[in-house]
């Protein structure tokens, strides 16, 4: 029995599970149809997502779309769409293109999403409206055997931390996995092909690209030549996937599907590592805003870049950094080459004789912050300026609240920023991230 058959046994629903799922889905559709009838609507519920396409893994997720006639006003669609989902347990209102309902039914985690019924994919439509076309494209082409190949690829992406188009992962969506298997035929062939993707590679499956794409991997949507199915995939996640594929082909193992949980370093071990290296650690924590991850993570990434840039501009060389949304807080971690900079820093000004050189001189001549009068370094003005913020900790405390971190994180920063340096940064809640910062390991190589 091959490794992949063994893995399939673990990830593929059994016939019994499929039967139970089908029965629940039938009951759910019946309820929806009767609610639609009661309300006199012309809507139609359809199962979409991996269950519709037969590429689902074991689990209890179900995506349902309710197709409304194209002439339905937007507000009516949203209101009625939400009303239709009102029978779900523990339901929450969520937001994508339209608001939708997330909740539970017979133990299944269900999303009921209203959208427009569109018959011609050439019509202008939202990403949500396009989904039924994606489902149909895949269902019509994927063989039964290939469905298992998709399952393997999805499980591989999950295990290697590259599954999901959401902002936290910036990885491979289910639809992208399906298209890749359609394109290359099987899970191993996709892994093999990954090695050949060059930056800017364009994969076309049935449709031709109708515009250039800026992303590192382009998989043209068969339903819309102007859309890249891999548009959410970041260069970093793509690189991790390719490395995972390379490593798996060299030495396949279950580790790629079920990574070992990583044991965090103890605070003592981390302190020893930092001391041996001669580097220093800083943690910056903001209160976590109550937002969906897809809204939060772009801000986390923006804030991360802003912080690295802040340290950089002030002469603190960041050796490594991480950012992550944890329970109740957003954490930014930095490892610095140097924890203390001199009490002066050189400001290099404009070349002598250009018009704004006079501004530089006017600013620094006799300035009490200047440690020297302006002097020439080659043909450029320079001045030694007193540095007050001589440690990353002081710098962060003084400046984080002045940065542009994203709307909600800015608000968090105004409420207070926790800055912890050295041993203070070795808090229990942070040690998982500290461990990844100091000793990065791929999930399959732990």
What angle do the packed helices 144-159 and 187-194 form, to 10 degrees? 50
Q: Is 272 in the site for a second copy (CB under 8 A)?
A: no
**What part of residues 294-313 is at the interface with a second copy (CB under 8 A)?**
none
Q: Which of 141, 183, 380, 418 binds a second copy (CB under 8 A)?
A: 380
Q: Is 378 in the site for a second copy (CB under 8 A)?
A: yes
Beta-bridge mates of residue 283: 333, 420
Contact yes or no for 322/437 (Cβ under 8 A): yes
- Of 106 and 436, which has the nearer Cβ to a second copy? 436
- Of 137 and 248, which has the nearer Cβ to a second copy? 248
Contact yes or no for 353/406 (Cβ under 8 A): no
Q: Which of 189, 231, 319, 391 binds a second copy (CB under 8 A)?
A: 319
- Whole-angstrom Cα Rg for the chain: 27
Helix (H) or strand (E) holding 76: helix 74-84
Q: Is 377 in the site for a second copy (CB under 8 A)?
A: yes
Q: Is 8 in the site for a second copy (CB under 8 A)?
A: no
Q: Is 79 in the site for a second copy (CB under 8 A)?
A: no
- Of 24 and 273, which has the nearer Cβ to a second copy? 273
- Of 44 and 192, which has the nearer Cβ to a second copy? 192
**What part of residues 355-374 is at the interface with a second copy (CB under 8 A)?**
371-373
Q: How far is the CB of 409 from a second copy (least distance, A)?
A: 20
Q: How far is the CB of 82 from a second copy (least distance, A)?
A: 39
Q: How far is the CB of 199 from a second copy (least distance, A)?
A: 7
What SS3 state is found at 390?
coil
CA separation for the pair 114, 378 (Å, rounded): 67
- Of 74 and 277, which has the nearer Cβ to a second copy? 277
Q: How far is the CB of 346 from a second copy (least distance, A)?
A: 5
E strands in 30-140 = 44-48, 61-68, 89-95, 99-105, 108-116
Contact yes or no for 347/382 (Cβ under 8 A): yes
Number of chain positions touching a second copy (CB under 8 A): 50
- Of 51 and 219, which has the nearer Cβ to a second copy? 219
Q: How far is the CB of 412 from a second copy (least distance, A)?
A: 25
Helix (H) or strand (E) holding 242: helix 235-250
CA separation for the pair 442, 237 (Å, rounded): 12
Say which residue the tokens 């029978």 belong to. Answer: 87
Contacts of 427 (CB under 8 A, 6+ apart): 283, 420
CB-count burial class (<10 Å; 0-12, 13-18, 19+) for 109: middle
Give φ, ψ of 404 to 5 degrees: -100, 105
Closest CA to 381 of 355, 402, 344: 355
Q: Is 348 in the site for a second copy (CB under 8 A)?
A: no
Window contacting a second copy (CB under 8 A); options: 6-14, 203-211, 274-282, 402-410: 274-282
CA separation for the pair 36, 403 (Å, rounded): 50
CA separation for the pair 361, 334 (Å, rounded): 36
Q: Is 341 in the site for a second copy (CB under 8 A)?
A: yes
Q: How far is the CB of 216 from a second copy (least distance, A)?
A: 7
Q: Which of 87, 213, 258, 442 binds a second copy (CB under 8 A)?
A: 442
Q: Is 346 in the site for a second copy (CB under 8 A)?
A: yes
Neighbours of 43 (CB within 10 A): 23
- Of 347 and 427, which has the nearer Cβ to a second copy? 347
**What part of residues 198-257 is at the interface with a second copy (CB under 8 A)?**
198-199, 216, 234-236, 238-240, 242-243
Q: Which of 278, 290, 366, 428 binds a second copy (CB under 8 A)?
A: 278
Closest CA to 11 of 129, 117, 154, 168: 154
Q: Which of 26, 76, 326, 343 binds a second copy (CB under 8 A)?
A: 343
Binding residues for a second copy, rule: CB under 8 A, are 195, 197-199, 216, 234-236, 238-240, 242-243, 276-279, 315, 317, 319-320, 337-338, 340-346, 351-354, 371-373, 375-380, 384, 390, 439-442, 445
């Amino acid at each position: 029995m091959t490794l992949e058959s063994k893995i399939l046994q673990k990830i593929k629903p059994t016939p019994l599970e499929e039967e139970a799922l089908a029965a629940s889905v039938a009951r759910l559709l019946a309820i929806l149809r009767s609610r639609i009838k009661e309300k006199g609507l012309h809507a139609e519920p359809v199962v979409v997502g991996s269950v519709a396409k037969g590429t689902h893994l074991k689990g209890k997720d179900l995506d349902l779309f309710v197709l409304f006639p194209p002439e339905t006003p937007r507000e009516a669609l949203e209101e009625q769409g939400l009303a239709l989902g009102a029978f779900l347990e523990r339901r929450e209102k969520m937001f994508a293109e339209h608001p939708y309902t997330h909740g539970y039914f017979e133990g299944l985690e269900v999303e009921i999403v209203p959208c427009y019924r569109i018959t011609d994919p050439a019509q202008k439509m939202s990403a949500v409206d396009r989904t039924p076309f994606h489902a149909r494209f895949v269902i019509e082409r994927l063989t039964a055997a290939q469905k298992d190949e998709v399952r393997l690829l999805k499980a591989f992406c999950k295990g290697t931390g590259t599954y999901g188009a959401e902002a936290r992962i910036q990885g491979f969506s289910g639809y992208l996995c399906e298209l890749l298997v359609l394109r290359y035929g099987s899970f191993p062939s996709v892994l093999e092909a990954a090695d050949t993707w060059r930056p800017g590679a364009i994969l076309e499956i049935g449709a031709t690209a109708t515009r250039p794409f800026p992303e590192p991997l382009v998989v043209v949507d068969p339903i819309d030549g102007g859309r890249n199915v891999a548009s959410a995939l970041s260069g970093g996640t793509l690189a991790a996937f390719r490395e995972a594929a390379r490593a798996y082909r060299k030495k396949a193992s279950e580790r790629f599907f079920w990574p070992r949980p990583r044991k965090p370093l103890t605070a003592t071990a981390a302190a020893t590592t930092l001391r041996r290296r001669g580097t220093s650690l800083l943690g910056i924590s903001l209160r976590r805003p109550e937002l969906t991850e897809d809204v939060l993570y772009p801000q986390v990434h923006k804030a991360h870049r802003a912080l690295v840039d802040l340290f950089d501009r002030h002469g603190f060389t960041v050796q490594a950094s991480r950012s992550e949304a944890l329970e109740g807080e957003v954490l930014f971690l930095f490892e610095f080459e140097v924890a203390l900079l001199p009490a002066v820093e050189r400001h290099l000004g404009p070349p002598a004789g250009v018009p704004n050189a006079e501004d530089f001189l006017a600013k620094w001549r006799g300035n009490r912050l200047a440690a020297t009068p302006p002097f020439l370094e080659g043909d450029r003005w320079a001045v030694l300026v007193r540095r007050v913020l001589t440690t990353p900790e002081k710098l962060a405390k003084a400046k984080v609240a002045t940065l542009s971190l994203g709307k909600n994180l800015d608000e968090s920063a105004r409420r207070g920023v926790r800055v912890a340096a050295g041993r203070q940064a070795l808090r229990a809640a942070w040690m998982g991230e500290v461990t990844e910062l100091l000793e990065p390991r791929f999930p399959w190589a732990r």
